[in-house]
Structure 1
Amino acid sequence: MVAIKNLIAFEDESGNRLFSNVDSLESTEGASIEAYRSFDDLTKGENATNATIAKLLPPLPNPNLPIYCVGLNYKSHAKEAKLNVPANPPLWTKPNSALASPDSTIPMSRFCASHLPDWEGELVFVTSCEVRDVTPEKAVSCILGYTIGNDISCRFFQLPEQSGGQFFYAKAFDKFAPIGPVLVSPESFNKTKKGARLTTRVNGETKQNTVIEDDMIFDPARVLSWMSQSTTIPAYTAVMTGTPAGVGAFHSPRQFLKNGDLIEVEISGIGTLKNEVLFEDGQDSIM
């Protein structure tokens, strides 16, 4: 089996989905690289071809699965939200239609643009195998790699008086889960994990900035173990592990995404996820 170092997925000039195991954390559109038509071929080192990167895609072996999400997983975010730290990780999912590519534009309908759209930079892990009832100790070996996500949210629909305080509806809109640009192996990420920072910028201005290990409450193995109890988690499931302080809803005054905003989420040792927001049909004010 070929060891994964830095996995990317991309479309070639003909629109074919391909995978590549690259050396760099940055891959350039227009570059010609060795690639494989399936993740299975890549891991076996079979049927390699040369291809040109036309568009980067989320670096997931299977992009057709629900995306798991964790809430209140950073001490700083729980503090800014004035919420108690729970005994176990709060969980919900986003549908696979929420998945969006790195460097892509996130189109927001008037409905979404008008209901307090916000950013959430997050560390994401991807499972390497199907798991159920896995222990935290075993879960460590069930992680294929780490990448970056942005759990875009319409805060209005998280208000208790609007939707009972639930998370799913506020976060499950189309293209509200950009992920990428590269999936880094646990071995590679572990070299930089100590002191690794998560930083979110909007139009170049820093909004979130934390040392992940110092701030995170439930580590990825604990999260995977908890979500797998009496539940089958498919191989290649992406899991967004929560966000630190600095989301727009808790700035003073409150800040929300605007048409044309560029969101950059950077994690040490993984790279930077970039997406621009486009309000296709304008925006109504509810403030």
Structure 2
Amino acid sequence: MTTAAYKYLCQFETETGERFFAKCDSTEPTIGDSVSAYPSFEDLAEDRNATTATIAKLLPPLPRMDLPIYCVGLNYRSHAKEARLNVPANPPVWTKPAAALSSPYETIPVSRFCASHLPDWEGELVFVTARECRDITPEDAPSYILGYTIGNDLSCRFFQLPEQSGGQFFYAKAFDKFAPIGPVLVSPDVFKVRDREGPATLVTRVNGVVKQDTVLERDMIFPPERVLSWMSQSTTIPAYTVVMTGTPAGVGIFQKPRQTLKDGDKIEVEITGLGTLKNEVRFEGGQESIM
């Protein structure tokens, strides 16, 4: 499909649990609205089989929700500085499993195990691939991007400590529901990281308090086209793959004093032109003190 088929795209459930896609008028779909709805993303792209349905619950605005989620580390100068790490020559890449995906406005259940190991936030710009790709150049990469949205790369920092898990990323970030994404997918014709009227900013708030605040094009090291090109070298990236592009300074582990997520915390990640991703975390089994 071409990105011209939509400006703002959402996926939702009805009260009866049916799932639909819809073209939205803005970055803020309204629960309770009746919209022209399509049973599949392909139907929306071809403008066929439309019906009318009422939005009861927003889902991640993704054509597929069964693929691994690619993630990028150290992609903001400010975050590399606060972590006291050198900027790498290429984007560090790992994945989260599909089970990590969660929805906008969803209350995220956090187990006692996760709650007890330094849970943290990471507001991120996200893009989604439009078609399968392999060995593409940065110049070709924009034509492979279906759209942009917002993510929160939730992390248990304890498991990133070198003495605990060798400094790896995957285990710390791969827990169920640790990748909320949404609320809408915005066409590249509408959202452009480096070509806007005024700078696009990323702001993360926890319980209304600003924790992260940056201008994307000034702080980001590897733009989406560079990330996608690097990921695709000798690697087949499926259509509709989610890519979380890294986080700026202001994560909890580097706050002074150090901060972690607490039961009932409300996290909002807002990016200019993409809307606001909102989630609450709930510690299902309480929390142990480990440090």
Is the contact made by 1:194 and 1:213 (CA closer than 8 Å) also made in structure 2?
Answer: no
Q: Check if 1:274 corresponds to 2:278.
A: yes
Q: Give the secondary structure class of the aligned counterpart of 1:188.
A: coil
Q: Corresponding residue for 1:161?
A: 163
Q: Corresponding residue for 1:196?
A: 200
1:283 to 278, 287, 291: 287
Is the contact made by 1:95 and 1:172 (CA closer than 8 Å) also made in structure 2?
Answer: yes
1:52 to 51, 54, 61: 54
Q: Check if 1:239 corresponds to 2:243.
A: yes
Query: What amino acid is the match of 2:12?
Result: F
Q: Corresponding residue for 2:98?
A: 96
1:264 to 258, 261, 268: 268
Report the Cα distance in structure 1 between the residues aligned to 2:133 and 2:223, rounded to whole angstroms: 17
Shift of 1:192: 3.9
Q: Corresponding residue for 2:87?
A: 85
Report the Cα distance in structure 1 between the residues aligned to 2:133 and 2:265, rounded to whole angstroms: 38
Is the contact made by 1:9 and 1:20 (CA closer than 8 Å) also made in structure 2?
Answer: yes
Q: Corresponding residue for 1:10?
A: 12
Q: Corresponding residue for 2:152?
A: 150
Query: What amino acid is the match of 1:79?
Result: K
Query: What amino acid is the match of 2:234?
Result: S
Q: Corresponding residue for 2:259?
A: 255
Q: Deviations over 1:203-249 (max 9, x none)?
A: 00000000000000000000000000000000000000000000000
Q: Corresponding residue for 2:121?
A: 119
Report the Cα distance in structure 2 between the residues aligned to 1:277 and 1:231, rounded to whole angstroms: 35
Is the contact made by 1:11 and 1:57 (CA closer than 8 Å) also made in structure 2?
Answer: yes
> What TM-score results when the alignment is normalised by the length of structure 2?
0.97
> What TM-score results when the alignment is normalised by the length of structure 1?
0.99
Shift of 1:17: 1.3
Q: Deviations over 1:251-274 (max 9, x none)?
A: 000000000000000000000000
Shift of 1:194: 4.7
Is the contact made by 1:18 and 1:36 (CA closer than 8 Å) also made in structure 2?
Answer: yes
Report the Cα distance in structure 2 between the residues aligned to 1:19 and 1:172, rounded to whole angstroms: 27
Query: What amino acid is the match of 2:10?
Result: I
1:230 to 227, 234, 237: 234
Q: Check if 1:135 corresponds to 2:143.
A: no
Shift of 1:25: 1.0
Q: Deviations over 1:105-134 (max 9, x none)?
A: 010000000000000000000000000001
Q: Deviations over 1:126-152 (max 9, x none)?
A: 000000001000001110000000000
Equivalent runs, 1:71-82 vs 2, <5 Å: 71-82=73-84
Report the Cα distance in structure 2 between the residues aligned to 1:36 and 1:263, rounded to whole angstroms: 30
Shift of 1:193: 7.1
5+ residue gaps in structure 2? none
Is the contact made by 1:192 and 1:269 (CA closer than 8 Å) also made in structure 2?
Answer: no
Q: Corresponding residue for 1:181?
A: 183
Report the Cα distance in structure 2 between the residues aligned to 1:122 and 1:192, rounded to whole angstroms: 18
2:209 to 205, 210, 229: 205
**Identity across the alignment (%):** 74
Q: Corresponding residue for 1:23?
A: 25
Root-mean-square deviation (CA, aligned residues, Å) is 1.0
Query: What amino acid is the match of 1:278?
Result: R
